[in-house]
Amino acid sequence: MFYGVNAVILSILFRQNYRRKHKLGIEIEGLQEKINLAVNEHSRELKNQSAVEKKILLYKSLKDILEKINRTLDLNSISEILTEAAFTLIANNKGSCVLYLVDNQTYKLGLFKTKKEDKNLIIKAKEGDIFDLWVLRHASPLLIEDIRKDFRFDPEKFRDEGERFVSSVISAPLISDHKFLGILRLDNPTAGFYQQHDLRFLVTICDLVAVALENSELFVKTENLAIHDSLTSLYTRGYFLERLREELKRSARQNKPFSLLMLDIDYFKKYNDKFGHTAGDEVLRSLSRNLCEYLKDLSPIISRFGGEEFCIAIPHMDKKEAYDLSQNLCASVEKTKVILRRQETGITVSIGIAAFPHDATDIDDLITKADRAMYEAKKKGRNRPIAA
């Protein structure tokens, strides 16, 4: 009887203990699940916090970029700021960063600036590849996480002749007031290196810098208009004299000669009298093209000095070489035919030559002697050179 009662009591205690243990196990499992959820939530919060902090740092850097580009109108400086910011902040100095600018006349892309992880890497796609042409054609950003899996492009068509290997690409157009200025592209040999948030930040940078790039182009155009003659596109007299002074100082430092050619069109007035003033303009343009083409390999400084007079400075050329060149130049000009009011005609020029330091070491004296020699050439029959 005693043992029976004890067995019942032990059975009740065992069941109670089992139920408590089972309940406790369930509570432990619930607590562990809550702990796991809390850990995951905390991990997500940390990741989100890290991502937010990274975004804050990135967008704070935009202020620095704006401040830098607002300090300059130089195209090269702005391009350097743009590529450096993209390559550092987005690419983490990995892969390649390429800036293409659009040629306003041909509307083709031209390689302008690069940043590369591998300093020995040569970017051979000077006018862009299939990805750059896609951005140019669609005028919209491009993200490719893996070029082997992107149905829009045939990876077999992307073959760089160098050692450059690309898997992940982001690219954004530089557009200001509906004008397509260029493309900024980042690429990496690792698939999935760039994501959507990288592209968004790249687009933001490009939108900010596009206005600065356009302002820089306008500034360059304004400068060019100020130093170039509107009719012939040659240098103006004022700018030519500045360059001539620089050349004199450089030649004096290097102990090198340079020659000055003063050139005048023979009987220029007859073209205006016979064919009208627009014909005279065409004669001036024709001669300007001839001079630029004939002297292109000599790095000349060519100016429309006034009216039908032209002045040419040729570095590292002595007086004898300048005289021989002028003889050939006279012959070349004489052979060139100009069509005026459907009539074929020709022109000739008289050239005066003076050389530094043989004839003068002062700009004014050099110009005076070349000018006198030119008028001497006219007195002796025109269509010839005379050296001072």
Q: Which structural domains are found in the chain, ordered by start?
A: 68-221 (3.30.450.40), 237-387 (3.30.70.270)
Q: CA 315, CA 322: separation in Å to the nearest integer?
A: 10
Instruction: For residue 210, give the nearest of 129, 315, 102 by alpha carbon.
Output: 102
Four-CA torsion 380, 384, 385, 388, nearest 10 degrees: 0
Instruction: For residue 307, give the nearest of 229, 228, 377 by alpha carbon.
Output: 229
Q: CA 232, CA 305: separation in Å to the nearest integer?
A: 11
Least confident of 44-53, 103-112, 173-182: 44-53
Residue 99 has pLDDT above 90, yes or no: yes
For 127-166, what is the HEC assignment? CCCHHHHHHHHHCCCEEECCCCCCCCCCHHHCCCCCCCCC
Determine what percent of the chain is predicted with pLDDT higher than 70. 84
- Most confident by average pLDDT, 123-132, 222-231, 289-298: 289-298
CA 152 to chain centre: 28
* Mean pLDDT for the chain overall: 86
Residue 265, pLDDT score? 94
Q: At what angle do helices 363-379 and 237-254 cross, to 10 degrees?
A: 110
Q: Please state the pTM of the whole predicted model.
A: 0.61
Determine what percent of the chain is predicted with pLDDT higher than 90. 53
Residue 52, pLDDT score? 60
Residue 301 has pLDDT above 80, yes or no: yes
Residue 271 has pLDDT above 70, yes or no: yes
CB neighbour burial string for 367-386, b if at least 16 within 10 angstroms, e if fewer: bbbbbebbeebbeeeebbbb
**C-beta neighbour count of 214 within 10 angstroms:** 16
